[in-house]
Amino acid sequence: MKFHVMTLFPEMIEQGFHSSITGRAMEKGLLQLDAVNIRDYAVNKHMRVDDYPYGGGAGMVMQAEPVYRCYEAVKEKIGRDVRVIYLTPQGRVFNQKMAEEFAAEEDLIFLCGHYEGIDERVLEEIVTDPVSIGDYVLTGGELPSLVMMDAISRLVPGVLGNDMSAVGESFADSLLEYPQYSRPAVWREKEVPEVLLSGHHANVDAWRREQSVIRTAKWRPDLLETAQLTKKERILAEKILASEGEL
Ligand code: ADE
């Protein structure tokens, strides 16, 4: 997977991506990053890439031409049309399913805006996927693109080590993940649930599934609408929902 990021702050993208698991995956050649500075494609001698908005209003707008020239350069390097993700609070809200869909691509271009946005004409020309990472407004698209790249990267085969797995985790089937415990078995008088020490795999699986249902009903009841639950699990979820309502 190769990420191409069009940004005014390439060092922010590089620093964010070079650490931890994504950094290691880059060393192994499983992931590649090309952070491209839009300012390098400015069309005036002051290297300015923004100007006042037509019609007035606060803030500055990123101009169309530098963004387009930057896009053309990136596209030429790739050699074909690829999806262009524009990070904006106006986009479709990112989720695990979208991460899976993007992880199937070989190359992805991310376009990070700043100031009050980017001239609409160039967005119409190049953007295939406007995406938001949630209903709040950030100062630019760099953090959202790092969030998306992280979520996509861990789905690329080999990026997570053998001892880590992307199956059975939160959202895999519209349920949150069960709670995890490690040594010691007793910590500040709090004990690890006994079943986890039993070595009985079927019981452990059943307990974890039940915990997933309970946790989802408590913390993210909205997810229950799409979760595939047995009749018994549905009853359990309803019970939790009713008791949460009493609090
Ligand atoms: N740019 C500013 N806020 C954003 C958000 N919530 N998601 C994606 N891009 C953004």
Cβ of residue 139 lying under 6 Å from some atom of ligand 1? no
Give residue 100 CA to ligand 1 midpoint distance, Å. 20
Cβ of residue 130 lying under 6 Å from some atom of ligand 1? no
**Residue 172, pLDDT score:** 73
**Residue 173, pLDDT score:** 84
How far apart CA 160 and CA 90 sit, in angstroms, is: 31
Q: What does R_g of the chain's alpha carbons equal in angstroms?
A: 23
Cβ of residue 136 lying under 6 Å from some atom of ligand 1? yes
Cβ of residue 141 lying under 6 Å from some atom of ligand 1? yes
For tokens 């709040």, what's the residue? 136
Q: In ligand 1, which atom is closest to the CA atom of 135?
A: 6
pTM: 0.94
Q: Could you tell me if 241 and 213 are in contact, meaning their C-beta atoms sit under 8 angstroms apart? A: no
Instruction: Please report, in angstroms and rounded to a whole number, the separation of the first and last CA atoms in the chain.
Output: 47
Give residue 115 CA to ligand 1 midpoint distance, Å. 12
Cis previous bond, 66, omega within 30: no
In order along its 247 residues, the chain shows pLDDT tens digits of 999 999 999 999 999 999 899 999 999 999 999 999 999 999 999 999 999 999 999 999 999 999 999 999 999 999 999 999 999 999 999 999 999 999 999 999 999 998 789 999 999 999 999 999 999 999 999 999 999 999 999 999 999 986 566 655 778 789 999 999 999 999 999 999 999 999 999 999 999 999 999 999 999 999 999 999 999 999 999 999 999 877 6
**Amino acid at residue number 156:** V
How far apart CA 207 and CA 225 sit, in angstroms, is: 22
Cβ of residue 193 lying under 6 Å from some atom of ligand 1? no
Q: Return phi, psi of residue 189, to 5°.
A: 70, 5
Bridge-based pairing state of the strands 32-37 and 129-132:
unpaired
Among the listed residues 108, 139, 150, 113, the one whose alpha carbon sits nearest the alpha carbon of residue 17: 150
**Residue 166, pLDDT score:** 67
Q: Which residues contact 83 (CB under 8 A, 6 or more apart)?
A: 102, 105, 108, 109, 128, 129
Give residue 210 CA to ligand 1 midpoint distance, Å. 35
Cβ of residue 137 lying under 6 Å from some atom of ligand 1? yes
